[in-house]
Amino acid sequence: MASGCQRTPEGAREALRRYEEQNSDLPVQTRRMLGLAALGRYFGRRNLEAALDQTLPRFPFRDWSWRWWNVLLHSGLERHWDEFALRAQRGGAREAATFLRAHTSRRAYALFLRRAGTNPHNDHRPKRGNIIWTKGGCWRRDSNWTRLLVLHEHLPERTLNRWQRMLGHENVRLIERELMHLIDSDTMLRHEAIDRAVHYVQRRVPEVLGWPKQRALGPKGLAWFFQTRVRTKIGTVVPLAQGGYVTRRARRLLWTW
């Protein structure tokens, strides 16, 4: 789609027009998001935002698994997702596409390439195998969000201080199990899954502790529960291994995960 287009807002606009024209049978919002995902690495988010004169969501540029799931889905090849994702995690889109080409008709594979907007066989970048692919996005294996919400593994026991002692390890495990049943990483975008988990814990912990209904768990409590950094409107709260927290103020507001 980007052949002959310069890496400028004008070039990005032309490439996106080509993608949407060749996939005009898709719903408007779907083809726009898939077009952005297809062109993001070549043109960059800044050029695409300038081309459309608007701020764009991050997930089409970051969550490659969401992109390829939707490419398969809108090509009628969703039955191949499990094997495609497994091979992509291990060897990247090139290996996954090689498998797909060997197990589909030429016509079906041509539609897959049209939906993709790029040729995955040109992807030669080395893979580290540290990303888990779900239909809703890419998750780092070493992240506590991934351990809890995707792999459904309990997090290590936390240090208990003050109100945490009243909550106790058993109630922490209870809330973790509730999150495992509440969050489906295949039906939610990654940032939506994290936001929902955060909002649930904000309300659920005070409920278990019997706090007033209007009181919500703050950023420090959330960082303690998830044992990972939690972003706020003014910066990031980071839990320390020995207990306590560090608040790192950002130069600009942080609204997304």
Q: What is the pLDDT of residues 61-77, one digit of tens each?
A: 999 999 999 999 999 99
Mean pLDDT calculated for residue range 178-203: 96
Q: Where are the alpha helices (DSSP H) in the chain?
A: 9-22, 28-52, 59-62, 64-73, 81-102, 106-116, 144-149, 163-182, 190-209, 219-226
The string of pLDDT tens digits covering residues 113-135 is: 999 999 999 877 767 778 999 99
Where in the sequence is the domain holding 173, given as residue range(s)? 143-227
Tell which wins on pLDDT, 235 or 37.
37
In a domain, 235, yes or no: no
pLDDT band at 252 (very low <50, low <70, confident <90, very high): very low
Q: How many domains does one find in the chain?
A: 2
Per-residue pLDDT band at 255 (split at 50, 70, 90): very low
User: Do 184 and 105 belong together in one domain?
Assistant: no
Q: Does residue 52 fall inside a structural domain?
A: yes
Q: Are residues 39 and 120 in the same domain?
A: yes
Residue 209: CB atoms within 10 A of its CB come to 14
Are residues 125 and 159 both part of a single domain? no
pLDDT of 249 reads 61
Last residue of a domain, one of 79, 107, 129: 129
Mean pLDDT for all residues in the chain: 90
Kindly state the average pLDDT of the residues 193-213. 95
Same structural domain for residues 45 and 89?
yes
Query: Residue 257: pLDDT above 60?
Result: no
Residue 97 counted as domain residue: yes
Distance CA 81, CA 73 (A): 9
Tell me what pLDDT residue 204 has.
Answer: 97
Last residue of a domain, one of 97, 129, 161: 129
pTM of the model: 0.87
Whether residues 120 and 198 fall in one domain: no
Look at residue 254 and tell me if it is in a domain: no
Asked, for residue 44, whether it belongs to a domain, the answer is yes
Residue 237 lies in a domain: no
Which of 23, 2, 3, 22 lies closest to 12 in space, CA to CA?
2
**Are residues 151 and 53 located together in one domain of the fold?**
no
Task: Say if 75 falls within a structural domain.
Answer: yes
59 and 92 assigned to the same domain:
yes
pLDDT exceeds 80 at position 185: yes
Q: Considering the domain boundaries, does residue 240 fall inside one?
A: no
Which of 129, 160, 181 lies at the terminal end of a domain, its last residue? 129
